[in-house]
């Protein structure tokens, strides 16, 4: 009696606030003693809102440690076990790899690969396997297989809803999922940059209508108009259906039972946008997604991969690229700002102070991918071809209260005129991290 009991939600918020305030120190402690994530600090991994504050390298070490423990007493035997021995033709790498691996069990696939290219001498001591992963990366996106389509900028990919033109398409997707999962397990890198929505599917995260912007920017604008304006002002009549065009044939699909008889109104348009986004990015490629994930989860347990954000998953697959900020600075355009303004100077100071991980998160926030153009940022691609990084000023008396926002199809950063360097840096960090993982306790 007389003892005050803190409500669970209040305790949760207090814990979140503590982790947010001390994330730097916590990450240093974990880096020095990674086993803490398996012991007294395991709650930082278990609670999604908290693991958002763990840095990528700490999560990666935890992930690899958990993979090594898979199989219990037999884990060491699996790691030493020799796996499939591939005899490949360089001009037919995809097909040869597919046919030689398709009948292998998940257990066999976990063994160490041996790769040889026909007509070439050499023993695979690891170099040929690395080369195989990179060569196969290019073939996965070969348009002749019709498995994946590029986004508006041509730099990231997602499953092709018309892939059924290839009779083996679902078997191919399962194969690709297995290969990418194995590359992650074996710590080999692939040049395989997918759309943010596809990474979300791998992680079991719901897609959002805003994810359409990178894939279909004009369609995204139409959805945004529907949300932002009364339907009467737009002069459009909608129902709960989606139109599809498959090999020249138009079809109408109900988004909900009886959808063609249900009118979209200002009261229910949020639900319509959610459903149409789900249809475009999930339902229309469900068979392809299911086949890919079946192969991927053969190699990587779904519960384990979900500790990463979409941006971090791309880094896990493709590696951490070196971002040349001097090159980015030289290839930046300004709108309603000029390079000498304090806000712009603060922006570049903040970016240069970021860790490599946060620089990569910024690039993914801006462009939709952490991929650095081969020819530098002068060749940064947008929906209209080559499109430089551009910073636009956000106007308004309360603009400083807003977070920076990005339009990935235009490589555009909308930057409010913050009042101090500290305010700009904190808001920018919050924006790039909020873009990769959500915050708050439900």
- Which residues lie below 8 Å from residue 417, measured CB to CB, with a gap of 6+? 343, 393, 394, 399, 400
Facing residues of 249 across strands?
A: 246
* DSSP class per residue in 57-126: HHHHHHHHHHHHHTTGGGHHHHHHSEEEEEEE-GGGHHHHHHHHHTT--HHHHTSEEEEEETT-----SS
Quote the Cα angle for 348-354-358, to 5°.
115
Q: How far apart are CA 19 and CA 21, in angstroms?
A: 5
Tokens 């300004």, residue located: 334
Reduced to 3 states, what is the DSSP secondary structure of residue 383? Answer: coil
Which phi and psi (to 5°) does residue 220 adopt?
-60, -45
Which phi and psi (to 5°) does residue 238 adopt?
-130, 150
Spacing of C-alpha 231 from chain mean position: 33
Q: How far apart are CA 392 and CA 416, in angstroms?
A: 8
Token pair belonging to 25: 């120190």
Q: How far apart are CA 298 and CA 178, in angstroms?
A: 7
Which of 244-247's residues contact partners 24+ apart within 8 Å by CB, and which partners? 244/284, 246/162, 247/162, 247/165
Token pair belonging to 167: 């009779």
Residue pair 311/431 in contact by the 8 Å Cβ criterion: no
Identify how many contiguous H helices and E strands the chain contains and give both numbers. Answer: 21, 12
Token pair belonging to 81: 């076990």
Q: How far apart are CA 295 and CA 159, in angstroms?
A: 14
409 catalytically annotated: yes
Reduced to 3 states, what is the DSSP secondary structure of residue 225? Answer: helix
Catalytic residue among 409, 415, 428, 432: 409
Return the sign of the alpha-carbon dihedral for residues 311, 312, 317, 321.
positive
Alpha-helical segments (H) within 282-420: 286-299, 302-305, 310-318, 325-330, 342-353, 356-367
Catalytic residues: 409
């Amino acid at each position: 009696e007389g003892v005050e009991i803190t409500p669970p939600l209040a305790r949760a918020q207090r814990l979140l606030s503590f982790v947010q305030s001390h994330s730097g120190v916590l990450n240093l402690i974990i880096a020095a003693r990674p086993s803490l994530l398996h012991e007294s600090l395991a709650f930082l991994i278990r609670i999604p809102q908290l693991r958002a504050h763990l840095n990528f390298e700490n999560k990666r070490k935890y992930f690899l440690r958990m993979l090594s423990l898979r199989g219990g007493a037999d884990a060491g035997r699996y790691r030493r076990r020799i796996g499939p021995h591939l005899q490949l033709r360089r001009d037919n790498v995809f097909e040869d790899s597919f046919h030689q691996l398709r009948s292998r069990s998940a257990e066999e696939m976990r063994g160490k690969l041996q790769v040889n290219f026909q007509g070439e001498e050499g023993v695979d001591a690891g170099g040929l396997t690395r080369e195989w992963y990179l060569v196969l990366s290019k073939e996965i996106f070969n348009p002749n297989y019709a498995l994946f389509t590029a986004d508006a900028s041509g730099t990231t990919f997602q499953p092709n809803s018309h892939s059924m033109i290839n009779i083996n398409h679902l078997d191919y997707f399962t194969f690709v999922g297995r290969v990418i999962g194995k590359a992650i397990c074996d710590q080999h890198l692939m040049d395989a940059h997918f759309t943010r929505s596809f990474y979300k599917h791998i992680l079991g995260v719901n897609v959002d209508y805003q994810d359409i912007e990178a894939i279909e920017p004009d369609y995204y604008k139409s959805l945004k108009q529907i949300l932002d304006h009364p339907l009467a002002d737009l002069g459009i009549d909608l129902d709960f259906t989606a139109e599809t065009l498959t090999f020249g044939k138009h079809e109408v699909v109900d988004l909900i039972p009886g959808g063609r008889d249900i009118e979209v109104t200002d009261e229910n348009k949020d639900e319509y946008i959610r459903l149409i986004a789900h249809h475009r990015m999930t339902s229309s490629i469900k068979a392809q997604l299911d086949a890919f994930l079946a192969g991927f989860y053969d190699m990587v347990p779904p519960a384990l991969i979900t500790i990463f954000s979409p941006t971090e998953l791309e880094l896990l697959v493709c590696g951490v690229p070196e971002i040349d900020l001097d090159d980015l600075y030289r290839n930046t355009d300004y709108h309603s700002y000029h390079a000498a303004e304090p806000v712009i100077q603060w922006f570049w100071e903040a970016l240069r102070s970021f860790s490599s991980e946060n620089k990569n998160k910024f690039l993914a926030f801006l462009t939709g991918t952490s991929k650095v153009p081969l020819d530098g940022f002068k060749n940064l691609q947008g929906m209209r071809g080559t499109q430089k990084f551009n910073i636009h000023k956000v106007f308004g008396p309360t603009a400083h209260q807003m977070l920076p926002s990005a339009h990935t199809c235009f490589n555009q950063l909308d930057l409010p005129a913050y009042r101090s360097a500290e305010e700009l840096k904190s808001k920018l960090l919050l924006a790039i991290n909020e873009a990769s993982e959500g915050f708050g306790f439900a």
